Amino acid sequence: MKQIANEMSAVQLYKRLLTYVKPYWLVFGAVILSMLVYAGSETAMAALMKPLMDGSFVEKDPFIIKWIPIALIVIFIVRGIANFLTTYGLGWIARNVIMTLRSEMFDRLLTLPASFYDKSTSGQLMSKLLYDVEQVADAATDAILVLVRDTLTIVGLLAWMIYLNGLLSLIILLTVPFIGLLVYKISSRFRRISKTIQDSMGDVSHTSSEVIEGHREVKTFGSQQYEAKRFDKVNQLNRRQRMKKIATEATSQPIIELIAVLGLAVVIYLATLPQMLDQITVGTFISFITAMFMILTPLKRLTKLNSKLQAGIAAADSVFTMLDQQPEADTGKQQLERARGDIRFQQVGFQYNANSRKVLDDISFEVKAGQTIAFVGHSGSGKTTLVSLLPRFYSPTEGQIFIDEMDISDLQLLDLRKQISLVNQQVILFNDTIANNITYGQKEVVAEERIIAAAKAAHAWEFIQKLPEGLQTEVGQNGVLLSGGQRQRLAIARALLRDTPILILDEATASLDSEAERHIQSALENLMQSRTTLVIAHRLSTIEKADIIVVMHDGRIVETGTHQQLISKGDHYAELHRLQFQQQ
Ligand code: ADP
Ligand code: MG
């Protein structure tokens, strides 16, 4: 039953893949035509053997002696042109399909929700984009080549053989079911192996990308051996899977050849029986044997095709599964140019998965435009989760969130996010110039004075000025050429330039020492001016001026008030405060 289900979905995958070939039907038609010509020239080659033997050598016919070499050249020229057109045309279609699939996958990546990225590693996704797409096109190209060209060749040659001698041909045809059965048996094995090869390629790429990205951690923790062992495991697995495939390929080919050669032996035996010898000329026999041998090559390819085809099906499955992922829900209709910045959470609850515990429970608070609200609490208490509901990275599972008394789920996603700037601990910079990093996301060209003004307000101008190429300095991949504090200040400049009514600071200064933090504090204060700010800070000294402080514990709000109120209350906040004070 499962087998049938698989076959069904394989057919669906082909159909879907065909829709990608559709725009190129004209080229495709030309390819099929040149395949037909190719198959014809192959048959002509075998057929040429008969006049060559009988006419040139036995009967010594001068006309045939003169024309055979010329015919040979003509056949080979036609065959060559047909071959070129087939290969080039198919390659052209394949490269176009790969490009389309890749750009569709990339577009999909841009619209997938945060929860999708929680579940997949970047290595796995990269492997789909780089490796699986190629596999799909590779397999499809081979499939068409073999299914059409080789099948036509086989049909042409068989027809010639039947024309030469029906009885002998019948014997050859008897071997076909055996080969067919064998091919069928091997194919299901190929598909299984191909799927595991793809998975193990994903493992190899994600394990190595982790080490590449985390090379500092690997060095400081001295975990080279551990990582080497981990990599060795996936590497070994990948090799074993590959070897299984090679073994299957390597055994299937000789077995099929053996079956074919058995047929050949029978043909030779029968053709040389006294009764037969009278009917069959040398030319007929040689031409027949030539055709038989020429059939072997496309037949062999037919068996090899299966491994590719199965790999292609597995890869297509992986590509289409990714394309079928639900993009972020953007059902909101309401437009919003610029919000005032009032924010209200009403009994908001949230869980990451339907069957996991509530990470947020009964969260209600209100903050007026321009005010600052601070969230404090132990790590894991749900602060980051809470603020990530505002730009709708996730949707609350209970309750509602309002901006200016509009339910954010009614807003268009783009309009909602346009209101919010986010600065967190991990500043992501793009491999580009400082100027382009500061203006990232701006729709229009930004005048240099405005960039400089933002950089100055973010206290970033001091260090940018000193760089050899100023604003045009390249920051390297993810800004590796800058210090943590410098990156942080670029992020602040970026947020300043964006000038949104709402600002989220999630441990924006956590990775900095207190000296650097002091430096950034005034940049942050510039940024927070006249904006509604949600700030999460692990150093309580930085939030004393907040209008409201919310203390969280285990996904619930346990205390709310100003710094003074909460200190004099002498409960959770006061305790947190005392602990931190002690440490310093
Ligand atoms: P905080 O920012 O206060 O340290 P978080 O909001 O990051 O807390 O985490 C709150 C809880 O949610 C933690 O128990 C954490 O394990 C869980 N959590 C955080 N992110 C995810 C996620 N993407 N998927 C599932 N659980 C998560
Ligand atoms: Mg956090």
| Digit-coded pLDDT (tens) for 221-253 | 899 999 999 999 999 999 998 898 888 888 877
> 5: pLDDT confidence band, cut at 50, 70 and 90?
very low
Task: Report CA(584)–ligand 2 centroid distance (Å).
Answer: 22
What rounded mean pLDDT belongs to the chain? 88
For 42-52, what is the mean pLDDT?
93
What is the pLDDT, as a whole number, of residue 267? 80
For 48-62, what is the mean pLDDT?
90
What does the alpha-carbon distance between residue 258 and residue 4 come to, in Å, rounded to a whole number?
Answer: 31
Compare 160 and 271 and report the one with higher pLDDT. Answer: 160
Does residue 4 carry a pLDDT above 60? no
> 45: pLDDT confidence band, cut at 50, 70 and 90?
very high
Mutating to test ligand 1, I would choose from 112, 115, 379, 384 the residue with most ligand atoms within 8 A of its C-beta, which is: 384
What is the pLDDT, as a whole number, of residue 6? 57
Q: Give 463's contacts (C-beta < 8 A, 6+ positions apart).
A: 486, 489
> 84: pLDDT confidence band, cut at 50, 70 and 90?
very high
Ligand nearest to the CA of 425: 2
DSSP letter at 451 equals H
Q: Whose CA is nearest to atom 27 of ligand 1?
A: 352
Give the pocket of ligand 1 (CB within 6 Å): 118, 352, 359, 377, 379-385
Q: Which atom of ligand 1 is nearest to the CA of 388?
A: 6
Does residue 386 carry a pLDDT above 70? yes
Q: Whose CA is nearest to atom 13 of ligand 1?
A: 380
What is the pLDDT, as a whole number, of residue 40? 96
Q: Whose CA is nearest to atom 23 of ligand 1?
A: 118
Give SS3 for 115: helix
Task: Report CA(558)–ligand 1 centroid distance (Å).
Answer: 18
Neighbours of 104 (CB within 10 A): 15
What is the pLDDT, as a whole number, of residue 480? 76
What is the pLDDT, as a whole number, of residue 1? 34
Q: Which atom of ligand 1 is nearest to the CA of 118?
A: 23
Task: Report CA(120)–ligand 1 centroid distance (Å).
Answer: 17
User: What percent of the chain stands above pLDDT 90?
Assistant: 49
Q: Give 291's contacts (C-beta < 8 A, 6+ positions apart).
A: 43, 46, 157, 158, 160, 161, 164
Mutating to test ligand 1, I would choose from 352, 551, 552 the residue with most ligand atoms within 8 A of its C-beta, which is: 352
Task: Report CA(385)–ligand 1 centroid distance (Å).
Answer: 6
Asked if residues 397 and 350 have their Cβ atoms less than 8 Å apart, the reply is yes
Ligand nearest to the CA of 353: 1
Ligand nearest to the CA of 388: 1
What is the pLDDT, as a whole number, of residue 8? 55
Does residue 108 carry a pLDDT above 70? yes
Ligand nearest to the CA of 506: 2
> 584: pLDDT confidence band, cut at 50, 70 and 90?
low
Does residue 7 carry a pLDDT above 90? no
Three-point CA angle 565, 569, 570, nearest 5°:
125
Asked if residues 449 and 439 have their Cβ atoms less than 8 Å apart, the reply is no
Q: Whose CA is nearest to atom 1 of ligand 1?
A: 380
Q: Which atom of ligand 1 is nearest to the CA of 353?
A: 25
For 519-546, what is the mean pLDDT?
85
Terminal CA-CA length for the chain: 68
Give SS3 for 533: strand
> Mean pLDDT lowest for which of 313-317, 371-375, 398-402, 538-542?
538-542
Task: Report CA(506)–ligand 2 centroid distance (Å).
Answer: 7
Task: Report CA(391)–ligand 1 centroid distance (Å).
Answer: 16
